[in-house]
Amino acid sequence: MAGCGTGEDPAPSNQPTSNASGGETAGGGVGTAALTIAKPDGAITTESHNPYLGDSSASKYAYGKVIFEPLALVNPTGDLGTTPWLAESVEWNEDYTQLTVVPRKGVKWSDGTDFTADDVIFSFDMVRTGKLNDTSAHNIKEVKADGDKVVITFGNSKFTSQARVLHHPIVPKHIWENIADPNTDPLTEEGQAVGTGPYVLSNWSTESVTLTANPEYWGGELAVPELNYVSYGDNAALTTALVSGEADWAQAFLPQIQDSYLAADENNKFLVSPTAGAGTLFMNLQTKPFNNKALREALAWTIDRNAYVDIAREGASEAIWNVTGLGDLLKDEILPEYADKNYSVDVDKAKQILTDAGYTWKDEKLIDPDGEAVSFSISVPAGWSDWNTEQALLAEELKSALGIEVKVDQPDWGGWDAARQEGSFQAIIHWLEDTGNAYGLYTSTMDPKWIVDNKAQFNFGRFDDPAVTEALNTYANAANEDERKEALKTMQTGFVENVPAIPLGAHPLLGEFNTRNYVGWPSEEDQYASGDPTQPGIVLVLTKLATA
């Protein structure tokens, strides 16, 4: 997404460019087997097909994404590129305050009505007028037609939130103009769940949701005739369903996935798609022991990121060693002076940093300059198995290498959430705001904007440096690429010099699927989309699948 100003793309083809089964040739044509898409979230009991509601069944199951389509698809992995979808082209102005799109011709809504520019204007104008809550902070000032184009003007730059804009679901004006409150309507009346997507709703129950292929889909003939969405009680039940073939496609972290899933059938596949985000160790910079930069830097030279990837994440990640905190996906945004500067597990270097800062050791325990033994707790909710494992790894690594006692804290979600917001923790492992560029890491770890009424949504360590804050604001609202580059220098240098947080490994999108009936899936060699069926890119995957 970074730097993507324009995009033009023809209608998608249902012929795959590659697949996860090692380059098998697609057979083509329409298959006979349905795909069952599964989640481990328990029963979803309330019917709602509204794509704008995060708690609707359409959002929880994610079937709304194959009914209602966006203007374009922003790939969160691979090349981070933008693929026009309901738009034939999308173009941003230089400061990303204005988006110009050409709505795709020849598209029909699933009730047979023509899709037009008026539908695009209406979908965004609901937000501008306040009829639809602006939950994505679009801050739309004007939406208008300009010949065969639609021009959307925003009150601030959207460079760091292009995906949020481009993924806004487009809905039919002729139906939605009669909906009194789009913030609450479940869209369950006859003929309301109408979209341009590749599938249409066939049956809804608390046990499963069935959708059938849209025979008039603008994207071409679909290989998969039917989708079934099912939610299982937990990961164990989901794993059993995937192994037995009862379920075909899911996104979940499955412990011991090699033995529990992949070994069961050579057709079972697991795709890890790195994103610009990262699993990150956040430290409370306001209190001991993390108010001393030397300790944070020593930890950065001690923590084994490979162990995080190989043991805690069972390979489902990618280690981040560069001092900038950026992973391979964003290597082009690393400043030249930092390109070859990487952390490693170097205990001698860590000890020298501590010694130079006045730390000592007594009875194999690290003693801070005030004469107190260094210890801290690290908190992750109970049941988050990968990060719970990382807690144990960190405790072992830091005690063995530096003599630091690390206490493992595994509260329930509510207690953990309150502590991270209020700043009453010492260290936590957390994700980042994923903006598809370097800004995501730096705003998440150093931006005071996230702290409102003394509660933090990111920047949990409460880092505050006026120069870095100004650079973050400049980057997010820059008038041109040169301004963004200058701001990035300040942000990146501030991160390197202060070590406000320690990224451990790329926070990936995961996908489990099988190639028994269909090929054309994204693969490590061709991450045209992630393998996660809850992402907007599912529509692209479904147009590329072909019979095996």
- Domain of residue 262, CATH code: 3.40.190.10
Q: Is the pLDDT of residue 87 over 70?
A: yes
| Lowest-confidence pick of 3-17, 46-60, 308-322, 458-472 | 3-17
Does 252 map to a domain? yes
User: Identity (one letter) of the amino acid at 355?
Assistant: T
Residues 216 and 95 in one domain: no
407 bridge partner residues: 377
Does 379 map to a domain? yes
**442 touches 487 (CB < 8 A):** no
Distance, C-alpha 207 to centroid of its chain: 27
Residues 61 and 73 in one domain: no
Q: 110: closest CA among 35, 201, 236, 40?
A: 201
Does 14 map to a domain? no
Distance, C-alpha 517 to centroid of its chain: 28
User: Identity (one letter) of the amino acid at 77?
Assistant: T
pLDDT band at 228; cut points 50, 70, 90: very high
DSSP state of 160: G
Residues 504 and 364 in one domain: yes
Q: What are phi and psi of 375, to 5 degrees?
A: -150, 155
What secondary structure does DSSP assign to 495-534, as a single string?
HHHH--EEEEEE--EEEEEE-SSEE----SS--SS-S-TT
First-to-final CA distance of the chain: 32
Q: 283: closest CA among 491, 418, 433, 430?
A: 430
Last residue of a domain, one of 155, 182, 209: 182
Q: Span 517-538, mean pLDDT?
A: 97
| Lowest-confidence pick of 15-29, 64-78, 218-232, 456-470 | 15-29
pLDDT given for residue 16 in this prediction: 32
Q: Is the pLDDT of residue 6 over 80?
A: no
pLDDT band at 474; cut points 50, 70, 90: very high
pLDDT band at 27; cut points 50, 70, 90: low
pLDDT given for residue 43 in this prediction: 84
Residues 380 and 454 in one domain: yes
Q: 44: closest CA among 27, 59, 23?
A: 59
Q: Is the pLDDT of residue 17 over 50?
A: no
What secondary structure does DSSP assign to 228-249, as a single string?
EEEE-SSHHHHHHHHHHTS--E
**486 touches 495 (CB < 8 A):** no
Find tokens 């804290």 and name the residue.
Answer: 409
Residue 353: C-alpha distances to residues 91, 362, 502 (Å): 49, 17, 17
Q: Is the pLDDT of residue 298 over 70?
A: yes
Cis peptide before 70 (omega within 30 of 0): no
Q: pLDDT of 487-499, one tens digit each?
A: 999 999 999 999 9
pLDDT given for residue 28 in this prediction: 66
Residues 416 and 304 in one domain: yes
The count of structural domains within the chain is 3
Q: Is the pLDDT of residue 20 over 90?
A: no
Residues 123 and 238 in one domain: no
Does 236 map to a domain? yes
pLDDT band at 235; cut points 50, 70, 90: confident
H/E stretch holding 487: helix 481-498
Q: Output the average pLDDT for the chain.
A: 94
Size of the chain, expressed as the number of residues it contains: 548
Tell me the CATH number at 405: 3.10.105.10
The contacts of residue 337 (CB under 8 Å, 6+ apart) are: none
Q: pLDDT of 348-407, one tens digit each?
A: 999 999 999 999 999 999 999 999 999 999 999 998 989 999 999 999 999 999 999 999
Q: 429: closest CA among 253, 251, 278?
A: 278
Residues 215 and 303 in one domain: no
pLDDT band at 10; cut points 50, 70, 90: very low
Q: 349: closest CA among 271, 297, 409, 312?
A: 297
Could you give the CA distance from residue 272 to residue 260 in angstroms, rounded to a whole number? 17
Q: Is the pLDDT of residue 177 over 60?
A: yes
Q: Span 459-485, mean pLDDT?
A: 97
User: Whole-model pTM?
Assistant: 0.89
Residues 236 and 223 in one domain: yes
Could you give the CA distance from residue 64 to residue 410 in angstroms, rounded to a whole number? 34
Q: Span 148-159, mean pLDDT?
A: 97
pLDDT band at 541; cut points 50, 70, 90: very high
Does 6 map to a domain? no
Residues 45 and 72 in one domain: no
The contacts of residue 188 (CB under 8 Å, 6+ apart) are: 47, 48, 49
Q: Span 252-263, mean pLDDT?
A: 93
Residues 101 and 227 in one domain: no
Sign of the four-CA dihedral 137, 138, 140, 143: negative
Q: State which residues form the domain around 122.
A: 68-182
Q: 95: closest CA among 150, 156, 141?
A: 156
Does 364 map to a domain? yes
